[in-house]
Amino acid sequence: MSNATIYDVAGAAGVSLATVSRVLNSPEKVKEETRQRVLKVIKELGYRPNVIARGLASRKTTTVGVVISDVTRASVAQMLSGILDIANKYNYSIKLFSIPEGADVLDALQNIVAEQVDGVLYLNDELSDRDVELVKKMFTDNNIPFVFANVATSDPIVPTVSIDYVKAGYEITKLLIDQGCKDIYLLSTARRYSVNDKKEEGYTKAMLDAGLEPKIFRTSGDTAINKPHFETFFANVNVDGAIAVRDSIAVSFLNIAINNGKVVPQNLKVAGFQNTRYAALSRPGLTSIDIPVYDIGAVSMRLLTKLMQSKDVENTRIILPHHIFKRESI
Partner DNA sequence: CTGAAAGCGCTTACAG
**Which residues contact a second copy (rule: CB under 8 A)?**
1-3, 46, 48-53, 55-56, 61, 63, 66, 70-72, 74, 76-78, 80-81, 84-85, 88, 93-98, 100, 110-111, 113-116, 138, 141-142, 223-224, 248, 251-252, 255, 258-259, 277-278, 280-283
Choose the contact partner of 34 out of a second copy, DNA, none; CB within 5 to 8 A by kind: DNA
165 within 8 A of 195, measured Cβ to Cβ: yes
Hey, which residues between 59 and 98 contact DNA (CB under 7 A)? 59-60
Strands 323-325 and 287-290 come out as: antiparallel
Half-sphere exposure (Cβ direction) of 199: Cα atoms closer than 13 Å: 25
CA–CA separation, 7 and 2 (whole Å): 13
Q: Are 233 and 205 in contact (CB under 8 A)?
A: no
**Cβ of 231: how many Cβ atoms within 10 Å?**
13
Task: Name the binder of 24 from DNA, a second copy, none, CB < 5-8 A by kind.
Answer: DNA
17 binds, among DNA, a second copy, none (CB under 5 to 8 A by kind): DNA
Give whichever of 16 and 88 is closer to DNA, judged by the CB atom: 16
Between 138 and 245, name the residue whose CB sits nearer to a second copy.
Answer: 138
* For a second copy, the closer CB: 280 or 319: 280
Q: Does the protein bind DNA through residue 142 (CB under 7 A)? A: no
Residue pair 292/90 in contact by the 8 Å Cβ criterion? no
Site for DNA in 157-216 (CB under 7 A): none
Applying CB under 7 A, the span of 5-13, 91-99, 136-144, 148-156 interacting with DNA comes to 5-13
Interface with DNA, residue 53, by CB under 7 A? yes
Helix pair 6-13, 17-25: axis angle to 10 deg? 110
Tell me whether residue 141 or residue 178 sits nearer to a second copy (CB atom): 141
Q: How far is the CB of 52 from DNA (least distance, A)?
A: 7
Q: Which does 225 bind (CB under 5 to 8 A by kind): a second copy, DNA, none?
A: none
Task: Give the total of residues touching DNA (CB under 7 A).
Answer: 32
Distances (CA, A) of 60 to 75, 88, 92, 120, 172: 30, 17, 11, 13, 45
Q: From the list DNA, a second copy, none, which binds 313 (C-beta under 5 to 8 Å, kind-based)?
A: none
Q: How far apart are CA 247 and CA 249, in angstroms?
A: 5
Are 309 and 157 within 8 A, CB to CB? no
Site for DNA contains 33 (CB under 7 A): yes
C-beta of 77 vs 324, nearer to a second copy? 77
Is 117 one of the binding residues for DNA (CB under 7 A)? no
Position 141 contacts DNA (CB under 7 A): no
Question: In the complex, what is the shortest distance from the CB of residue 70 to a second copy, in angstroms, rounded to a whole number?
Answer: 7
Binding segment for DNA among 42-50, 61-69, 146-154, 163-171 (CB under 7 A)? 42-50
